C-alpha cells in the first residue's frame, strides 16, 4: 500500500466544479489582483476567525513583515521567536529590519517556552512571535503576562493553526495581530501563495493595508514607502470556495488524530503528541517522537509510507543564523527534539484503511529489536 504524506489532488477533485467555476469567473471579470473576490475573501475570513479586520497579502511570510512594519519596528529592535519553527517566523523579523532573538521551545508541546522568553528580554525587546506549531496553541496566558509586564507586542503566527482555540478562544485573538499562510499544504490552502493578517485594531489594519499597497491606499497618496504584497483574485476565489469546508476538514483532522492516539496506544518507544488541556488542536501535523528516527523513517518509506521532518534542524543551528554563534546547549529542548520528531500522514482525505496501515507499520517497526 502507498500512503502519501498529503493528498491535495483528492481535495481538488472533491471541489472541482466549484473551483473551476470560481477561477473562470475571475478570468471573465479580469479581477486578477485585489478586486471583489479579494474583498469577499477578507470579509469572509475575518468573520470565520472572529477578527474585526483581515488584510490579505501575497503569502504568510510577508504577512509577518507587514504586521511588524505597521507596528513600527525600527533597526536594532529585538523580536523573540521560537528556536523550533518554520524559518518564515524568524526571517520575517530580519526582513522587517529587526533583530531575531531565539527562545527555546517546550520539550513536549513544541511551542515557545515562556520561561525561556523571559530570559531573552532586554531593553531592546519590542515583541514576541509565538507560533501555534503543528496546530496546537502556544501558552498564551503566560506570554500575555510577559508582554504586559514589558510592554511588548505579540504577533501570533497562526500559519499552522487555522481555527485552533486556546481556552475556548480562537487563536489570533490574543495578540495585536495574527498572521496566516494559505500555502497549498496548510489546513486552508490556496493553489499558489497567499497570506493574510488579522487584527481587532482599525488603526493597525489601516497601517498594514497601506504598507502592503506601496504605502498608499489611493493612487498618488503614498504616505510612506511600502511594498507590493497583494492577494491574487484567483487565489481569493479558490479560498472563498475552500473556506466553507475548513470547519469540516478540521473536525476530520481531529477524528484522525484521536484514532492515531488509539491505534498507537500500545506501541513501544514512541511519544505520541501531547495536547495540553487548554488546547483545541487542529492537527496541521501529527508529530511523534521516536528513537533512531532516521531508520524508522527509512523503514516506513520502504513500506510505502511517506513521512516528513518538520523541522530537521532548529533555526539557531542553521547556517543562516551561524552569525549568532549559538551552541546546542543554548536550546536544549529544540536540540533534543530535532533528532526525534517525525510527522506522519494526517489529512482530511486519509481513509481508515490507510491510517490503520500506517499505525500498524509504525508499531511493527518500533517493536523490532536491534542489536
Ligand atoms: C507556512 C508558514 C509560514 C508562512 O508561510 P508562507 O509559505 O510564506 O505562506 C509562517 N510560519 C509558519 C510557522 C509556517 O508554517
Q: Which three cell numbers stand for residue 371?
A: 542489536
**Which runs of E-coded beta strand occur in the chain?**
53-57, 78-82, 99-103, 125-128, 153-157, 165-166, 169-170, 177-181, 195-199, 279-280, 286-289, 341-344
Å from CA of 133 to ligand 1 middle: 11
Q: In a mutational test of the pocket of ligand 1, which residue from 65, 160, 184, 197 has the highest number of ligand atoms less than 8 Å from its CB?
A: 160
Q: What is the pLDDT of residue 370?
A: 61
CA-nearest of 275, 299, 298, 300 to 286 is 275
- Quick check: 138 and 116 in contact, CB under 8 A? no
Relative orientation angle of helices 36-49 and 233-243, to the nearest 10 degrees:
40
Q: What grid cell was written down for 294? A: 532516521
SS3 218: coil
28 C-alpha vs ligand 1 centroid, how far in Å? Answer: 31
- Tens-digit pLDDT profile for residues 309-354: 999 999 999 999 999 999 999 999 999 999 999 999 999 999 999 9
Spatial separation of the C-alpha atoms in residues 239 and 44, rounded to whole Å: 10
How much is the pTM?
0.98
44/119 Cα distance (integer angstroms): 40
Q: Tell whether ligand 1 has an atom less than 6 A from the beta carbon of residue 157.
A: yes
**H runs (alpha helix) in the chain:** 8-29, 36-49, 60-70, 88-95, 114-120, 140-149, 202-212, 233-243, 246-263, 293-302, 332-338, 352-367
Distance 89 CA to ligand 1 centre (A): 7
pLDDT along the chain (371 residues), means of 10: 96 97 96 94 98 98 98 98 98 98 98 98 98 98 98 98 98 98 98 98 98 92 95 98 98 98 97 97 98 97 98 98 98 98 98 98 90 50
CA–CA separation, 249 and 31 (whole Å): 29
Q: Which atom of ligand 1 is nearest to the CA of 160?
A: 15
Q: For position 206, what pLDDT does the model report? A: 98
Give the pLDDT of residue 12: 97
Atom of ligand 1 nearest to the CA of 60: 9
Amino acid at each position: 500500500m502507498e500512503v502519501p504524506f498529503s493528498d491535495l489532488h483528492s481535495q481538488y477533485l472533491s471541489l472541482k466544479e466549484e473551483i473551476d467555476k470560481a477561477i473562470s469567473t475571475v478570468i471573465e471579470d479580469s479581477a486578477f489582483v485585489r478586486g471583489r473576490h479579494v474583498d469577499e475573501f477578507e470579509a469572509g475570513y475575518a468573520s470565520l476567525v472572529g477578527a474585526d479586520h483581515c488584510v490579505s497579502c501575497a503569502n504568510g511570510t510577508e504577512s509577518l513583515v507587514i504586521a511588524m512594519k505597521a507596528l513600527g519596528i525600527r533597526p536594532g529592535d529585538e523580536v523573540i521567536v521560537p528556536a523550533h519553527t518554520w524559518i518564515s517566523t524568524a526571517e520575517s523579523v530580519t526582513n522587517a529590519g529587526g533583530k531575531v532573538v531565539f527562545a527555546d521551545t517546550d520539550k513536549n508541546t513544541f511551542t515557545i517556552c515562556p520561561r525561556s522568553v523571559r530570559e531573552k528580554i532586554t531593553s531592546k525587546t519590542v515583541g514576541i512571535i509565538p507560533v501555534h506549531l503543528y496546530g496546537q496553541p502556544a501558552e498564551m496566558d503566560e506570554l500575555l503576562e510577559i508582554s504586559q509586564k514589558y510592554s511588548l507586542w505579540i504577533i501570533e503566527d497562526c500559519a499552522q493553526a487555522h481555527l485552533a482555540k486556546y481556552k475556548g478562544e480562537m487563536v489570533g485573538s490574543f495578540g495585536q495581530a495574527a498572521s496566516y499562510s494559505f500555502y497549498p499544504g496548510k489546513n486552508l490552502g490556496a493553489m499558489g501563495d497567499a497570506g493574510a493578517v488579522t487584527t481587532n485594531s482599525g488603526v493597525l489594519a489601516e497601517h498594514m493595508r497601506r504598507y502592503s499597497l506601496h504605502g498608499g491606499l489611493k493612487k498618488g497618496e503614498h504616505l510612506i514607502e511600502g511594498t507590493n504584497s497583494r492577494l491574487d483574485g484567483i487565489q481569493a476565489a479558490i479560498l472563498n470556495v475552500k473556506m466553507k469546508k475548513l470547519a469540516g476538514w478540521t473536525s476530520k483532522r481531529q477524528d484522525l488524530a484521536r484514532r492515531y492516539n488509539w491505534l498507537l496506544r500500545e506501541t513501544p518507544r514512541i511519544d505520541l503528541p501531547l495536547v495540553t488541556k487548554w488546547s483545541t488542536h487542529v492537527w496541521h501535523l501529527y508529530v511523534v517522537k521516536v528513537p533512531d528516527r532516521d531508520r524508522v523513517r527509512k523503514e516506513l518509506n520502504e513500506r510505502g509510507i511517506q513521512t516528513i521532518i518538520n523541522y530537521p534542524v532548529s533555526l539557531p543551528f542553521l547556517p543562516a543564523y551561524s552569525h549568532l554563534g549559538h551552541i546546542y546547549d543554548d536550546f536544549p529542548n529544540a536540540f533534543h527534539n530535532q533528532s526525534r520528531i517525525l510527522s506522519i500522514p494526517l489529512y482530511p482525505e486519509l481513509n481508515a484503511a490507510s491510517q490503520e496501515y500506517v499505525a500498524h507499520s509504525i508499531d511493527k517497526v518500533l517493536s523490532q529489536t536491534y542489536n
